[in-house]
Amino acid sequence: MDTSEHCKEVYAYFGLAMYRAQCVEQSIVQLLIFFDFFKENVPKFRTSEEWEKDFDKFDKVLSKKTMGSLLGLVKDLGMLDNDIENILSLALQKRNWLAHEYFVDHALDFINEAGRNKMLKELECTIEIFNLVEDTLQPISSSAALKYGLTDEALEEIKREMYKSVESDFNANN
């Protein structure tokens, strides 16, 4: 493999690792939605308009928080066991390292093939950590979704509606 392609591969794996970190972050947001927002707001539900307004406000507040802050909010809910909290802390550490230090830490590795191979292996391991976290959090979110009536069928219908709106935007641009 030539050097240029090898560098591109490192960038691609780094991009995938950051993407998976963002997926973990969104899984944390989902937990907060189900175990904080829903828990608080479902009992006092009055109108869809009010629900949407409150949800958008909650989501806007969460979207401004760092992953570490989101993790702190989930921990404050006291709903996760120590093992899950520990793996979430590891995911946060890995995410922050990727975002703030990864290429600085690997400046010398990046300029040679053996170093880039080392980086690729390390990124693969990091991606596996994020995948493990997702696999751990998904059943928790799914269970909570079912509790609130969000069955697989209901979620599929929501997805279809979302795709339909995006599809019309996509078709308008082509």
For residue 84, give both structure tokens: 């899950």
Q: Give the DSSP H/E element, type plus range, for residue 64.
A: none
How far are the Cα atoms of 4, 35, 92 from residue 28, in angstroms, in the given order? 36, 10, 11
Whole-angstrom distance between the N-terminal and C-terminal Cα of the chain?
Answer: 37
Q: Which two tokens mark 28?
A: 């944390």
pLDDT tens, the chain, 174 aa long: 799 999 999 999 999 999 999 999 999 999 999 999 999 999 988 998 999 999 999 999 999 999 999 999 999 999 999 999 999 999 999 999 999 999 999 999 999 999 999 999 999 999 999 999 999 999 999 999 999 888 888 888 888 888 887 776 666 665
pTM score: 0.88
The answer to whether 113 touches 10, Cβ cutoff 8 Å, is no
